[in-house]
Amino acid sequence: NGCACLVVVLVFGGGLGGITYFGYQYYQNRYGTAPDYAGDGNSQTVSVEIPKGAGGADIGRKLKEAGVVKSVDAFISAFTNNDGDKIQAGAYILKKEMSAASAVDMMLDPKSQANVMVTPGQRNVVVYKNIDDKLGLAAGTTRGIAEKEFKTLGLPAWANSDTEIKDPLEGFLYPGTYAAAKGMKPTAVLKSMVERADEAYAKYDLDAKARSLSLENPLQLITVASLVQAEGKTHDDFRKMAEVVYNRLKPTNTETNQLLQFDSTFNYLKGESKIHISESEINSNPDPYNTYTQKGLPPGPIGNPGAEALAAALKPTSDGWIYFVATDGQNKTEFAKTYAQFQKLKEKFNQNAGN
């Protein structure tokens, strides 16, 4: 009858409409263009942190969640076609509602990166300042937090074993690039640096290695690495420099009588970086970090050593080196096994320095 026909038509029509809709969706999902914004985004900015090892899909999901791109698929397409694999881990300041291609371009532009870098040998005071600058904080903010909260930042149990350490985090802000954008907390940035140090140091049995090198604990091993990093001018110097440290620490050392006599430790306690330091200034300072007046290692690291300096501290040369001089005053370090050889290197340095 007429009613039955109408119901059939409606059901058939509805079914056809459903089939058409889902068919269209299937086509769009499989063959159509992924939803995307147009242009370079609006006036709103957002900070997005990209973890190490993130691929195109991972980055796309983070950007979509932050409102930067409209769809993950659109970002993956742009990522694949526009050198997206060159995007590095770190924090980025991006605009909301950007086209996927614009987002990739912006992430490849160093100006959009909101990161802080720790370079091998860099002292913590410099790192703290850089974090303050990146986060838009008043000078001294990060340093103050580090001094008060260092025990909560994930340091290994063997850290801070000397009560005379000037900065408990020295040697534990591992060289690398870290996210640091306005709105982040200094503790988060510091924790990521300490976590990276923990991972790097955990690769070695530092307890056993320290004992094999006649050191008291792993902290002393990191301290040696920091000295190697500070005094070595080139990577080729590092293993020789490590041997100089160990040879001077030996009880049998009658050349310097367990005095390291490193300018770098004196510069550290003064917060300076001088090459020429007067003997009267050095010899009158009894600070524990002054290795001209105090025997043995300083209480703790004097900077943040990199992987190569640590490797050298773990495996020094065994050639008998005990003296060294930066004979050109800058980049060339020469080593000696006797005091007589050392004197000749000093003469060479004085000639180059015009003394």
pLDDT at 24: 42
Whole-number average pLDDT of the chain: 89
- HEC assignment per residue over 54-97: CCHHHHHHHHHHCCCCCCHHHHHHHHHHCCHHHCCCEEEEEECC
pLDDT at 25: 53
What are the tens digits of pLDDT across the range 248-259?
999 999 999 999
What are the tens digits of pLDDT across the range 42-94?
988 888 888 888 999 999 999 999 999 999 999 999 999 999 999 988 888 89
pLDDT at 351: 82
Domain ranges of the chain: 45-112, 115-201, 206-353
Which of 3.30.1490.480, 3.40.190.10, 3.40.50.300, 3.40.50.360 would CATH assign to domain 45-112?
A: 3.30.1490.480
DSSP of 93-114 = EEESS--HHHHHHHHHSGGGB-
Say if residue 7's pLDDT is above 50: no
pLDDT at 8: 44
Rounded Cα distance between 113 and 47, Å, is 9
Rounded Cα distance between 202 and 313, Å, is 15
- Give the residue carrying structure tokens 């065994």: 318
pLDDT at 182: 84
Rounded Cα distance between 131 and 179, Å, is 10
What are the tens digits of pLDDT across the range 131-178?
999 999 999 999 999 999 999 999 999 998 788 999 999 999 999 989
